[in-house]
Amino acid sequence: MFDVAPVKVFGTSSVGVFIASNNTITFLPPDAPEKIDDVVRSTLRTSVARFTIAKSPLLGVFTVVNDNGVLLSPLALEDEVKLFKSLGLNVQVLQTKYTAVSNLVLANNRVALVSPLLEPQLRKVVTDVLGVEVVVDTVANNPLVGALAVINSRGLLAAPEATDEDLKKLADYFRVKVDVGTVNKGKSFLRGGMVVNDHGALVGDETAGPELMRITQVLG
């Protein structure tokens, strides 16, 4: 059963900017409304942890999360890193010149597609922390690979700008079902508008019926 729930956070449909999840835990900003917890538990079927990074609510921008570990933005403060580690997760700050680390890595539990922008010496950190094989490539000639697609263990949904060649490569890398789709009435930056794990997806409340159907078909 793959559930999809339309939600709004802080008055916006860009829910993926504020929320990050794997199959056991979902990270929410401390001041996100309590009712989101219930939606997370019923849709993503995880526990909830309320954290910040750089005292900011932008958890979806500043983290890369899978079931094996968490990569944090270089902006993360020491006490914030300790909180992540207190959950028993493999946690590492990605010491890159880029702060929005979620834009640079698209990962499930087996493979990570890493942007060519990420410094080459950090690829091993991605491999070690997330426990994945790393491939370096773009999506639609765009290095923001983590912004233009979402993935779980069953499927990968990419922005409509992705070519047939892109989709074939992504299917080869990840060995999952691959297709294109949008969120929030035509937005290509999928990660900003949704949060996905193997159990379900939270999507921005502007997401239209055909978009919801595609999300369920590809990721469910």
pTM for the predicted model, two decimal places: 0.97
Residue (of 209, 158, 208) closest to 184 by Cα position: 208
Which sign, positive or negative, has the C-alpha torsion 189, 57, 90, 68? negative
Q: What is the number of structural domains in the chain?
A: 1
HSE value, Cβ hemisphere, 13 Å, CA-based, for 197: 22
CA–CA dist 81, 5 (Å, integer): 30
Nearest to 69 by CA among 120, 22, 133, 122: 22
The pLDDT score that the predictor gives to residue 35 is 94
Separation of first and last alpha carbons in the chain:
7
For the chain, state the CA radius of gyration.
16
Spatial neighbors of 76 by CB under 8 A, at least 6 apart, are 53, 54, 62, 93
What is the predicted pLDDT for the residue at 31?
Answer: 96
Spans in the chain with pLDDT lower than 50: none
Domain extent at residue 209: 3-219
**Count of residues making up the chain:** 220
Query: What does the angle CA 42 – CA 45 – CA 50 come to, to the nearest 5 degrees?
Result: 95
Classified as helix, coil or strand, 23 is coil
Per-residue pLDDT tens digits for 43-85: 999 999 999 999 999 999 999 999 999 999 999 999 999 999 9
The CATH number of the domain holding residue 20 is 3.75.10.10
H-helix segments, the chain: 35-43, 59-62, 78-85, 123-130, 164-174, 190-193, 209-219
Residue 61: CA count within 13 A, CB half-sphere: 17
E-strand spans in 14-95?
A: 20-21, 25-28, 47-50, 63-65, 69-72, 90-93
